[in-house]
Structure 1
Amino acid sequence: MSTETLLERITDYANRADPYPLYAELRENGVSRQNDGSYLVGTYHEIAALLHDPRISSDLRNRAEPDAALARPDDLPPAFIGVDDPEHDRQRRLAMRPFGPPHSPGRIDALHGDIEEIARELIDGFRGRERIDLVDDFAYPLPVTVICRLLGVPQEDMPQLRAWTNTVIEPLDRSPGDDAARRRRAGMEARSAMGHYLGELAARRDAHPSNDMISELVHDDGPEGRLTRPELMTTLVLLMIAGHETTINLITNGMLTLLRHPDALERLRREPELMPSAVEELLRFEPPVQMLPQRTPLTDIEVGGIHIPKGAPLLLVLASGNRDPLRFENPDHFDPARPDNQHFGFGSGIHSCFGAPLARIETQIALTALIDRLDDPRLAEDPPPYRHSPVLRGPQHLPIVRNAGAAPRG
Structure 2
Amino acid sequence: MTSHNVFEQILDPSGRADPYPLFGELRATPVARQEDGTYVVSTYREIVALLHDPRVSSDRRNLSSDAEPPDLSPAFIGLDPPEHDRLRHLAMRHFGPPHSPGTVDGLRPAMLAITTELIDGIAGKQRADLVDEVAYPLPVAVICRLLGVPQEDEPQFHAWADQIIETLGPGEEDRAERERERKTIALELERYLAGLAEARRRQPGEDLLSGFVTYRGPEGGMTPQEVVSTAVLLLIAGHETTINLIANGMLTLLRHPDLLARVRDDPGLIVPTVEELLRYEPPVQLVSSRVALDDITIAGVTIPAGSPIVLALAAGSRDPAHVTDPDRFDPCRARNEHLGFGGGVHYCFGAPLARLEAQIVLAELVRRLRGPRLVADPPPYRPSPILRGPRHLLVDYDGVEPAYTM
TM range (shorter): over 0.9
Counterpart position of 1:295: 290
Cα pair 1:39 1:312 within 8 Å, conserved? yes
- For the structure 1 residues 49 and 85, does the alpha-carbon distance in structure 2 shift closer, same or farther, using more than 3 Å as the test? same
Cα pair 2:380 2:392 within 8 Å, conserved? yes
Match of 2:349 among 354, 374, 384: 354
Cα pair 2:286 2:310 within 8 Å, conserved? yes
Counterpart position of 2:137: 141
Match of 1:245 among 233, 237, 240: 240
* One-letter amino acid of the structure 1 residue matched with residue 257 of structure 2: P
Counterpart position of 2:50: 50
Residue 408 (structure 1) aligned with residue 392 (structure 2)? no
Counterpart position of 1:95: 91
Range moving further from structure 2, 376-385 or 213-222: 213-222
Moved over 2 A (4+): 173-177, 179-184, 406-410
Counterpart position of 1:192: 187
Q: Residues of 1 paired with 2:170 and 2:312: CA distance?
A: 14
Q: Give TM-score, length-normalised by structure 2.
A: 0.96
Q: Residues of 2 paired with 1:168 and 1:14: CA distance?
A: 21
Q: Give TM-score, length-normalised by structure 1.
A: 0.95
Counterpart position of 2:16: 16
Match of 1:203 among 198, 203, 206: 198
Q: Residues of 1 paired with 2:193 and 2:231: CA distance?
A: 7
Counterpart position of 2:37: 37
Q: Residues of 2 paired with 1:275 and 1:318: CA distance?
A: 23
- CA shift for structure 1 position 173: 4.3
Residue 165 (structure 1) aligned with residue 161 (structure 2)? yes
* One-letter amino acid of the structure 2 residue matched with residue 162 of structure 1: H
Residue 115 (structure 1) aligned with residue 108 (structure 2)? no
Counterpart position of 2:252: 257
Cα pair 1:12 1:175 within 8 Å, conserved? no
* One-letter amino acid of the structure 2 residue matched with residue 202 of structure 1: A
* One-letter amino acid of the structure 1 residue matched with residue 371 of structure 2: D
- CA shift for structure 1 position 200: 1.0
Task: Show structure 1 runs of 5+ residues with no match.
Answer: none
* One-letter amino acid of the structure 1 residue matched with residue 94 of structure 2: P
Cα pair 1:379 1:399 within 8 Å, conserved? yes
Q: Residues of 1 paired with 2:214 and 2:266: CA distance?
A: 44
Residue 84 (structure 1) aligned with residue 91 (structure 2)? no
* One-letter amino acid of the structure 2 residue matched with residue 261 of structure 1: H
- CA shift for structure 1 position 347: 0.4
Residue 279 (structure 1) aligned with residue 274 (structure 2)? yes
- CA shift for structure 1 position 159: 2.3
- CA shift for structure 1 position 176: 12
Task: Show structure 2 runs of 5+ residues with no match.
Answer: none
Q: Partner of 1:315: helix, strand, or coil?
A: strand
- For the structure 1 residues 187 and 385, does the alpha-carbon distance in structure 2 shift closer, same or farther, using more than 3 Å as the test? same
Residue 311 (structure 1) aligned with residue 301 (structure 2)? no
Q: Residues of 2 paired with 1:184 and 1:408: CA distance?
A: 47
Residues 227-273 of structure 1, C-alpha deviation per residue, up to 9 Å, x if partnerless?
A: 00111111111111111010000000000000001111111111111
Cα pair 1:386 1:394 within 8 Å, conserved? yes
* One-letter amino acid of the structure 1 residue matched with residue 116 of structure 2: R
CA RMSD, aligned part only? Answer: 1.6
Counterpart position of 2:358: 363
Cα pair 2:274 2:358 within 8 Å, conserved? yes
Q: Partner of 2:27: helix, strand, or coil?
A: helix
* One-letter amino acid of the structure 2 residue matched with residue 142 of structure 1: L
Q: Residues of 2 paired with 1:15 and 1:240: CA distance?
A: 28
Residues 290-342 of structure 1, C-alpha deviation per residue, up to 9 Å, x if partnerless?
A: 01011111011111111111111111000000001111111111011111011
Residues 1-25 of structure 1, C-alpha deviation per residue, up to 9 Å, x if partnerless?
A: 1222222111011111111011111
- CA shift for structure 1 position 184: 2.5
Counterpart position of 2:326: 331
- CA shift for structure 1 position 174: 5.9
* One-letter amino acid of the structure 2 residue matched with residue 408 of structure 1: E
- CA shift for structure 1 position 183: 3.5
- CA shift for structure 1 position 208: 1.0
Q: Residues of 1 paired with 2:94 and 2:192: CA distance?
A: 21
Cα pair 2:170 2:288 within 8 Å, conserved? no
- For the structure 1 residues 159 and 343, does the alpha-carbon distance in structure 2 shift closer, same or farther, using more than 3 Å as the test? same
- For the structure 1 residues 180 and 71, does the alpha-carbon distance in structure 2 shift closer, same or farther, using more than 3 Å as the test? closer
- CA shift for structure 1 position 39: 1.0
Cα pair 2:169 2:288 within 8 Å, conserved? no
Counterpart position of 1:228: 223
Cα pair 2:70 2:179 within 8 Å, conserved? no
- CA shift for structure 1 position 96: 0.5
Q: Map residues 123-134 of structure 1 onto 2, 5 A cutoff.
A: 123-134=119-130
Cα pair 1:375 1:409 within 8 Å, conserved? no
Cα pair 1:173 1:388 within 8 Å, conserved? no
- CA shift for structure 1 position 83: 0.9
Q: Residues of 1 paired with 2:218 and 2:94: CA distance?
A: 14
Aligned residues: 403
Residue 154 (structure 1) aligned with residue 150 (structure 2)? yes
Range moving further from structure 2, 218-227 or 146-155: 218-227
Q: Partner of 2:166: helix, strand, or coil?
A: helix
